[in-house]
Amino acid sequence: MLRKKYANGAWPFYIDQIEDYAYWENLFTKEECEKIIKIAYKKGLTQGTTIKKEGQVIRNSEVSWLYASDNLEWVFRRVTDAVVDLNDKFFKFDIFGLCDGFQFTNYKAPSGKYGKHIDKLYKGTIRKLSGSIQLTNPKEYNGGELYLYQGSKGDLMNQKQGTLVLFPSYTLHEVKPVTKGERNSLVFWVTGKQFK
């Protein structure tokens, strides 16, 4: 049991040692990223679910749902290995699998974005970790940065092509508007038992 003395008299049983996020560079090569993009476009894109907050549209993107049966078993296996490793090192959540497949997301200039939101569902699947894989070379577009928030100032995530960013699904995050070109990513959610 870990304890820390606090001036206000608090006596915590444990200290929160969960990291805000973790990342894995070069999970996929440039060629592998391009292959995933090609498979997603071949399946076809549809408008992402529009979410409104206080009358404002906070999401503008197109998506395609990808599964292992789409000749992507190699992607699922590699992501599984990376998620298990990162979870063991940085989060230590009780997890047991991916839900919903992968969501390929395309953000196009001049207004492709996803405003501040969390991925945790209420009265739905228990999402514990959210993952985002950067598929596009950041030199091919402007804007579109992924930010995670632990306070009022966000942390800019690694934009290197082929990088996986993993974070707790209750973390506030956003994709800033793409102002030139387009950005593609692969998003997924890791499930587990109820938080206790």
pLDDT of residue 6: 62
Q: Please report the sign of the dihedral spanned by the C-alpha atoms of residue 179, residue 37, residue 173, residue 150.
A: negative
H or E stretch covering 73 = helix 73-86
Span 73-79, average pLDDT: 98
Q: Which residue type sits at 165? A: V
Q: Give 26-50 pLDDT, tens digit per residue.
A: 999 999 999 999 999 999 999 987 6
- 35 or 99: whose pLDDT is higher? 35
Lowest mean pLDDT among 45-54, 71-80, 116-125, 183-192: 45-54
Task: Say how many domains are in the chain.
Answer: 1
What lies within 8 Å, CB to CB, of 174 at 6+ separation is 113, 114, 115, 116, 117, 146, 147, 149, 154
Does residue 62 sit within a domain? yes
CATH code of the domain containing 137? 2.60.120.620
Q: Give 128-170 pLDDT, tens digit per residue.
A: 999 999 999 999 999 999 999 998 899 999 999 999 999 999 9
Cβ atoms 145, 175 nearer than 8 A: yes
**pTM, 2 dp:** 0.90
Q: Which residues constitute the domain of residue 120?
A: 23-192
Does residue 63 sit within a domain? yes
